[in-house]
Amino acid sequence: MPLRIGVVGAGENTRTRHIPGFQKLAGVEVVAVCNRSRASGQKVADEFGIPTVHEDWKELVNSADVDAICIGTWPYMHCPITLEALAAEKHVLTEARMAMNLDEARQMQAASAQTDKISMIVPAPIWLETEAALLEMVSGGQFGDLLEIHVCGLGGGYDPEAPLHWRQRRELSGNNVMITGILNETVHRYAGVESSVSASGSVFTKERANPETGSAGVADVPESLGIVAQMQGGATAVYHVSSVAHLGEEASIAVFGTKGSFKLDGAGAWIATSSETAFRPLEVPLEEQGGWRVEEDFVEAVLEGKPVTHTSFADGIRYMEFTEAVNISMAEGRRVDLPLP
């Protein structure tokens, strides 16, 4: 019998990556979909040849004809759908970010621990091609002890007339701020977790036209964010993330150690020893490169018992704790020590 997957929430990432990714795999069928409306769900079903459309996501999750759930909704629904799916003994792949906040993430992890079903989060997708090779260099001590980490994600541009986006609404995105979680998940892979966090953020346009209602809506997720974090390993990490920086620097992570440095940017991965005066590309043979294989990883975990590495609920808890600390620090104007109680 094939692995039968039901999709709840068919946004852009689900339509461009997850559904096609599952449908190309042998022994896998996408058998049901539920979207925000019956009409939008039917449109997706027609596009991809999905036989069943549900109006109620709980009906889909509890269907005896579904073995696994792919959650493609905004973060506000990740926790309730995950809890329902695990209670129904279904495998779960949920879109990132993991949840609205740390409490929800912990609920999801606790529910996952009570079942033998696979629970997986869509990973931070950047710089996967060179990740394995670079991690081997880090663990092998090629860069020495890590001293500083500089994280940058500047983009967008200041446009107070732009309509309200769901990512600007805390009620839909929770504690997740722009691409901070994606960058932090990536940092964790190379440098471990934080011992403390201090953060400051700003919202420059606090009301925007809500395209769904036509009326003004509250924008309460920061458009500019600065973070200073101390890592448990001793390094200092500095983040600057913005959605109002016209021609700002693209997403990048630069790591400086006692024996050398590496950086990740739009052109790939770069390395330098302490004696070199410039970065050089990290050359990884094509056959050794990684890449996007989220759907394959999920199916292999379900059918073959392979461990989840990108990304487990345990790893999701780590970045959700970071984003929780960032929000506490912004709200209370203080350093927040980790781990949180």
Tell which CATH architecture fits domain 131-291: 2-Layer Sandwich (3.30)
- Mean of pLDDT values over 187-197: 98
pLDDT bucket at 212, cuts 50 / 70 / 90: confident
Model-level pTM?
0.96
pLDDT bucket at 42, cuts 50 / 70 / 90: very high
- pLDDT of residue 194 exceeding 90, the answer is yes
Of residues 233, 237, 236, 242, the one with CA closest to residue 202: 242
pLDDT bucket at 1, cuts 50 / 70 / 90: confident
- pLDDT of residue 286 exceeding 90, the answer is yes
Question: How far is residue 221 from each of residues 2, 95, 180, 208, 325, measured CA to CA in Å?
Answer: 42, 20, 12, 12, 15
Rounded to whole angstroms, the Cα distance separating 99 from 105 reads 6
pLDDT of residue 206: 97
228 contacts 326 by C-beta, under 8 angstroms: no
Long-range contact set of residues 210-219: C-beta below 8 Å, sequence gap at least 24? 210/163, 210/164, 211/163, 211/164, 217/164, 217/169, 218/169, 219/164, 219/168, 219/169
**Tokens representing residue 241 in the block:** 């993330």
Q: Where along the chain do its domains lie?
A: 3-122+293-310, 131-291
Q: How many CB atoms lie within 10 A of CB 16?
A: 10
Give the mean pLDDT of the chain. 97
**pLDDT, tens digit, 9 for 90 and up, residues 61-117:** 999 999 999 999 999 999 999 999 999 999 999 999 999 999 999 999 999 999 999
CATH number of 3-122+293-310: 3.40.50.720
Q: Which residues contact 130 (CB under 8 A, 6 or more apart)?
A: 264, 268, 269, 282, 284, 289, 290
Q: Torsions phi, psi of 240, nearest 5?
A: -135, 115
**pLDDT, tens digit, 9 for 90 and up, residues 220-248:** 999 999 999 999 999 999 999 999 999 99
DSSP SS3 for 306 = coil
pLDDT of residue 23: 98
